[in-house]
Amino acid sequence: MTLPGTKTRTVTRDGVNLAVDVGGEGPLVMLIHGFPELGYSWRHQVPALIEAGYRVAVPDQRGYGRSDRPEAIEDYDIAHLTDDLLAILESLGEERAVFVGHDWGSVAVWQLALMAPERVTGVVGMSVPFLPRAPEPTVALMRKIYSGGFFYIIYFQDPGVADAELNGDPARTMRRMLAGLKPGEFSGDELSALVVADDAGFIDRLPEPKGLPDWLSQDELDFYVAEFTRTGFTGGLNWYRNMDRNWHLSEHLAEAHVTQPSLFIAGSADPVLTFAPPDAGEAYLDDYRGRVLIDGAGHWIQQERPGEVNAALLSFLEDTEDTAERKASK
């Protein structure tokens, strides 16, 4: 589905076709989704940005939606993900852009700001903050921390296991992930089920919602379900299977700082913040414009609370433009 006010173009890099919705005129803003989402996740931001005078580019990332799904796991490492973003930038004839990411998209845009700082005007992470490089490979460290319990990222590592569960019933998967991750509303038994070491899968542990939240319509859920029924979830899961590889690939950036203007946006009830606290990496953000924590919101922040997210984004973009103009005038 092409987002309102945009046209879809295909960007090809190393034989991988990426579907990108592009619209508007003005400074470029790229919106990068996470797992398990699509470019469609930014449907509330695109019209607001175009109306405010920005050009937007919104890809379905590799492994998702209308874009290609390479078979090799290593084709989803951070080098491929960030090179995709640069290929899109170049295809649009642009030198730089503000990059906005959510969830895994945040990981990609934070890393891009380190790897190609000259191409990044500013960076906004949502739900996943900038995190300094761990002292040892990421998943290996998680196996130590969560030894004797269940943690979804560890469960996602073995090819075929999580794939079978998530692909087995895409409607159940998307319904429980989007509507069953209830911010601040898990009962004691539900919380225990999330971490107990047993044979249950990840989706098995999420409660079946009694209904949809007010921010998600049945038609919107149905669109996600139809897309993931067609594509499966393996592409997105392969991003997780590169976490240790990414640790090794980023060794040269261990002490690097994000020098561009940056912002972090999250819901105060986002469960990701329990194991990825934003203050852990803030010392590495040299031009940090702060964090916006939206009270009571959960993980799907740009869909749950679009008005507040859009206001924060537009304020950041205006401030970033002013900063760039001041630097250019010196």
Query: Annotated catalytic sites, by residue?
Result: 103, 299
Query: How many whole angstroms separate alpha carbon 240 and alpha carbon 194?
Result: 19
Is 84 within 8 Å of 33 (Cβ atoms)? no
Q: Name the amino acid, one letter, at 134.
A: A
> Cβ(67)–Cβ(60) under 8 Å?
yes
Three-state DSSP class for 259?
A: strand
Going by the DSSP 8-state scheme, the letter that residue 273 receives in this structure is G
DSSP state of 139: H
Using CA atoms of 293, 296, 300, 305 in order, give the dihedral in degrees to the nearest 10. -80
Bridge-based pairing of strands 55-59 and 28-32 is parallel
Element (H, E) at 269: none
Written as one letter, the residue type at 285 is L
Q: Judge whether 312 and 263 are in contact, CB under 8 Å.
A: yes
Nearest to 228 by CA among 269, 278, 177, 293: 177
Q: Which residue has tokens 């919106």?
A: 31
Element (H, E) at 26: none
Nearest partner of 312 among 266, 279, 276, judged by Cα: 266
Say if residues 21 and 7 touch (Cβ distance below 8 Å): yes
Q: How far apart are the first and last CA of the chain?
A: 44
